[in-house]
Structure formats: C-alpha cells, structure tokens
C-alpha cells in the first residue's frame, strides 16, 4: 500500500486529467490572469495593443507564431517595449511542444522576476498557451501537474490536447523523480 505522500506525488493518467479539466467549466474571458502577473489569452487579445497596454503587459509568448498561424512576431510590437517570444506550434496530436517547456519557463520566470507582466497566448488560449503555462508552473514554481491545473482553472477554462497532456505527464514524472533524488 502506498503512503499518502507517494500517492499525491503520482502523475495521474491522462483520462483523470481530462476529467479534471472538464469538471465545473464556466465561461471565461478572452484573457485571464492565472498566476500573479501571468496571463493566458487568445489571438484577439494579443492583437489588441490597447488592451495589452491597459494590462501593462511587458512580455508576450505567442505559442501559435508564424505566417500560417498568428503572425504577430516582434515586428507587430516594435512600437512598444514588449519583449516577444514566438513558438511555431500547431495544435495537433503529432507536435511535440515539450522542447519549448524549459526555454519558455525561463522566459516567463525572468520576466516575472523583473516585475514584468506576461501574456501567453495561442489562437483560443486553451491548449498550446495553457500547456506552456502549466509547464512553467511545474518547472519554476514546483507545482505538481494536478495542482498547476487547479491553479490555472480557478481563473480560466483550459483544455490542452491529449498529446500535450501526455507531454505534461512526462514532465511531471521527471520533475517528481528529480525532487525525490534531491
């Protein structure tokens, strides 16, 4: 039989994560603050410079960068002081977003450390951007996956695709093993 500590440290199966993500859904806006000074939003939010200015956003992570997706890029924000990070990630089952987890977590962490405000977005603000924010919370804030999901869901409905959920489960297991060995 497992101890209480081991069972809470266990990465849940993807089906349990999906149940958690689909439970008690309620309407959320185009952009939501999901962690202090960390926002998740959609493409319309990212393209609304007035809203971005009003939110005092200093850094933008576009998880749907590129000409075939949301082609804002650093040129779109060149008349602002916004620091930009683009990831050309399709929201599909065969795309591996995990190589971008650490660099994006570092970018967000550094922005927050400098007292900045970060917008992470994709097309609808529910899959790619949510996955990157969850990875940040796991890597830099040491939250287990389930806790990270619960934190974000307090403010925003999210639903990463199944492949991204599997990548987050793998990250969760890796981070849990690292915590145990230290």
| Residues annotated as catalytic (active site), given as ranges | 122
Three-class secondary structure of residue 37 per DSSP: coil
Query: How many other β-carbons are positioned within 10 Å of the β-carbon of residue 50?
Result: 7
Dihedral sign, Cα of residue 167, residue 173, residue 174, residue 176 = positive
* Residue whose entry in the numeric block shows the structure tokens 């349990």: 16
Give every CB contact of residue 169 below 8 A, 6+ residues apart in sequence: 11, 12, 13, 14, 17, 145
Three-class secondary structure of residue 110 per DSSP: helix
For 88, which DSSP code?
B
* φ, ψ (nearest 5 deg) of residue 78: -65, -20
Query: How many other β-carbons are positioned within 10 Å of the β-carbon of residue 97?
Result: 23
């Amino acid at each position: 039989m497992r101890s209480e500590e081991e069972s809470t440290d266990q990465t849940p199966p993807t089906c349990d994560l999906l149940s958690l993500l689909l439970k008690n859904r309620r309407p959320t806006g185009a952009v939501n603050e999901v962690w202090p000074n960390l926002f998740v939003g959609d493409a319309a939010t990212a393209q609304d410079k007035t809203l971005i200015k009003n939110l005092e956003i200093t850094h933008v992570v576009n998880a749907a960068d590129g000409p075939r997706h949301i082609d804002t890029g650093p040129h779109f924000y060149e008349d602002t002081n916004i620091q930009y990070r683009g990831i050309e990630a399709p929201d599909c089952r065969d795309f591996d977003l995990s190589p971008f987890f650490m660099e994006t977590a570092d970018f967000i962490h550094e922005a927050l450390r400098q007292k900045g405000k970060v917008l992470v977005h994709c097309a609808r603000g529910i899959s790619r951007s949510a996955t990157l924010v969850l990875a940040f919370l796991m890597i830099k804030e040491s939250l287990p996956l389930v806790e990270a999901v619960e934190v974000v869901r307090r403010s925003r409905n999210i639903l990463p695709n199944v492949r991204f959920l599997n990548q987050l489960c793998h990250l969760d297991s890796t981070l849990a093993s690292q915590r145990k060995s230290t």
